[in-house]
Each structure stands twice: as C-alpha cells, then as structure tokens.
Amino acid sequence: MKVKKKVYIETYGCQMNFSDSEIVASLMLDEGYEIIEDSGDADVVLVNTCSVRDRAEQRVRKRLRELKALKTKNPFLKIGVIGCMAERLKEQLLEEEQSVDLIVGPDAYRDLSALIDQADEGQKAINVILSTKETYSDITPVRLDKNGITAFISIMRGCENFCTYCVVPFTRGRERSRDPQTIISEAVDLFNKGYREVTLLGQNVNSYFWDENGKQTRFFELLEQVAAVNPLLRVRFATSHPKDISDELLKAIGKQHNICDAIHLPVQSGSNHILKLMNRKYTREWYLDRIAAIRKYIPGCAISTDIITGFCTEKKEHHQDTISIMKEVSYDYAFMFKYSERPDTLAQKKLDDDVPEAVKSERLREIIDLQQQLSHESNKRDIGKTFEVLAEGYSKRSDDFLMGRNSRNKVVVFPKEDFEKGDYVYVKVSDCTAATLIGEAKRRRVNRQPPARRSEA
C-alpha cells in the first residue's frame, strides 16, 4: 500500500490567502496527500505568502530560514513558496532562499502535485503564470479553521484598480468573477454542514459581475441570493472599494436581516492630494457622501476602514485631513499602517518615499491612539443594548464564557450557561473594552423565521 505524503500548509496575510490555502488543501487531498498540522512531520511544507507590505515578506523570509533547519533532519523535505510573494519574486526567490524547492503563483495551484514531483526529482520547480479565467469555482475548499461556524467563500479573484502603492494587481492578475450558481451551491453546502456565517471575499468584492447569455448578476444581487439560502445563515463581505459602493447594495443590506450591518470601506487617507497620488479614484467628498448613504439606508451600521500614513509627499496638513475624516466618520475599528514602498509599483517608480520613518511612526501612533478612543466610545454607546450574537466558540480567557459577534462585527463575550457554538443568543451589553463588548445572555433565538430587521433590540 502506497504511503500518503504529508503536507503542512502555513498561511500569511489576508483572508483571501486563508481561503486560497483551503483550496490548496482540497487539491492536495484529491492528489492523495494528507494534510497535517505539524511541520515537523511533513514531507512537503507550503508557505502561502503575502507581498502587500515589506514586513509581511520579512516574516516569510525569517520563517523560511527556520524551516531550512528541518531539512537537516529530513533531507527529502520539500519546501514551497506559494501565493503573492511567489508571484512577485519568481525565480529570484529560488536564488535567494536555498531551502526553497518550488515556487507557485496564486493561479497555478492545480499544478502543485506535478511541481512537487518535479522537485522530488531534484529540479527546482516553478509556475507563476497568471490566468484571466481561473477562479477555482469547481473546487470544494477544505475548511482549515476548525470552528465549524464561520467560513470564507471566494467570489472573485484579481484587481484592476492599480492603486499606486499596491502590488496586488501584479500578484493576483485581472479581475474575474465566479459563476453565481457555484457560489450559492457552496453556501448551501456550508449551511447543511452546520456553518452559520459566510464571508464573501474579493480584492474588490463590490465590483463582482457575472454575465451569462445576457443574464447579468451584480454584487448586490449575488448578496441577496446568498442571503436567501436560509434566514439562519449570516452573510458578510470584504473588501469594498469606495468608488463601487452603490445605493442598490446599501438598500439590499438594509432590507435583509441576515446580511450583516457592517461595511469595511478603506479610506487610506483623508487628503484629496494624497488620494490622487494613490490613484484611489475618489475624493474625500465622494467618500463622505458614501458614508452618508450608509447611515441613511443602514442606520446603526458599523463602519471600519484601512489607513495608510506617511505616503509620498504627505505633509502635516494631509495627516490632519486623515485625523479629521476619522473623527467625522467615527470608525468602529480600523487597520492602520505606515506606508511601505513596494518594488515595481507606480509609487516606487515615480514618487519619492520622502516622509522620514520617525515621522511615519509618530503619525501612526496618533492615528492608533485616536482609533482606540473612537472604538471605545463606539462600544460604550452599546452598553445597555441587546444584540443578537452568533456564538463562535469559547472566550480566550475562560471556557466558562462564549464569544461571538453581533451583526455589526463586534466581538461579544458572555457566560456560557447552556448555550453552544452555532446558537444565536440575545445578549444585553453591560460593559466593554475598546475591542470587546461584555454582556449577559438573555435568551436563545428559537424561531426559524427572520426577526425584525435591526440587530439592536
């Protein structure tokens, strides 16, 4: 009997990378491999990588040096770099990291088994060809997150926005959307397996578009179709681009109970000057108009964002524009970063990275401190309110407490009592931190029909 080779998959970066790792796991299983959770027992280690920031790449470089030590114990071990870093660096990575045996871009995962065989024969193996069609829509992902309650569904791949600071269009290729029927089928399968929340993923998810024989499906229509799978299935999505967030989408969220009241809308900067240099394709005024539309159609909607500080030419007044838009929108939470120049982007080729590192750090600290304050104020406003919470698992601090999220994507911790993972529980908030709501469970949702639209009672 042939012994199955063991594959260990390690993932860095965004939700899309984690979704891709689940596709890779499925493909490996189909080829007769076994997926394991300990790199020390592996015949093949695949490192799924991120290139969005230099720090992410440096973490991978460090990890590859650590994995090299495994080869001294197991000289037959094969190490593969897959994903965005593989696509960006290509053959260069093979030359610089002697431990690496294969390089596989995000559109070449179907060739992984053949490339591993090639590496087993002593050759360096590489496939970084980008596709205009590959969506892996026929692959049923292996769910590597074991909570069994929440899952990602990748609905499109690639990006064509070409923000000047970003490598994603070069590492992920052109935009292409999945057949909506395959997405619906995946959502149905997940629900039947006990999952109660799905997050629709794409680099620019609200540009999703499918046209088959003249029948068109836009993102808001797809969102409604996924929500119609079952009223007990929550639906989230990430990430939206401000230029594409339409009133039709907001109205769809506003009328469907199980489409969550939370929108991630990256602003990146509050300055029109910086936004133009970033090629973000919107102005501060457009962005604030979309915020007003969200407030109009989805009262109480949580809004989160991404912010980059210290971009090329950023002056103090531009930084203050970002501070002011943060205060005006009053974000519930945010992902905040210093600008990291990425090779081969338009910003790297044509703009000077001229903001001193110390200034970047100082501005980032101010942004983080402000967001901590805004997040805490947002959570304090929820004290005394009751929310419907989907229990996802135990609290990190105690098995006597469960944690879950409400429709607004806020983490809520409450006493376990007799509740279980997958239950919808009404929780009255009694306290909070900047990151977490703390409350008391009032009752389990027992009805099988959607309740009133609002998640707040």
Instruction: State how beta strands 302-309 and 333-338 pair.
Output: parallel
Domain boundary assignment for the chain: 6-127, 150-380, 386-444
Q: How many helices and strands, by DSSP H and E, does the chain display?
A: 14, 21
- The average pLDDT across 409-427 equals 95
Please give the CATH number for the structural domain made up of 150-380.
3.80.30.20
Q: How many residues does the chain have?
A: 457
Beta carbons within 8 Å of 338's beta carbon, 6+ residues apart: 308, 309, 310, 357, 360, 361, 364
Which tens digit of pLDDT belongs to each residue from 89-118? 999 999 999 899 999 999 999 999 999 999
Distance CA 59, CA 61 (A): 5
Which tens digit of pLDDT belongs to each residue from 118-146? 999 999 999 999 999 999 999 999 999 88
Question: What's the distance, Cα to Cα, between the start and end of the chain in Å?
Answer: 60
Q: What is the DSSP letter of 400?
A: T
Q: State which amino acid sits at residue 412.
A: V
* DSSP-based three-state secondary structure for 175: coil
- Tokens 């919470």 identify what position? 389
Superfamily of domain 6-127: Methylthiotransferase, N-terminal domain (3.40.50.12160)
Beta bridge pairs of residue 48: 11, 82
Which tens digit of pLDDT belongs to each residue from 254-264? 999 999 999 99
Question: What is the pTM for the complete model shown?
Answer: 0.93
Superfamily of domain 386-444: Nucleic acid-binding proteins (2.40.50.140)
Distance CA 209, CA 215 (A): 11
Which tens digit of pLDDT belongs to each residue from 193-251? 999 999 999 999 999 999 999 899 999 999 999 999 999 999 999 999 999 999 999 99
- Peptide bond just before 72 cis, omega within 30 deg: no
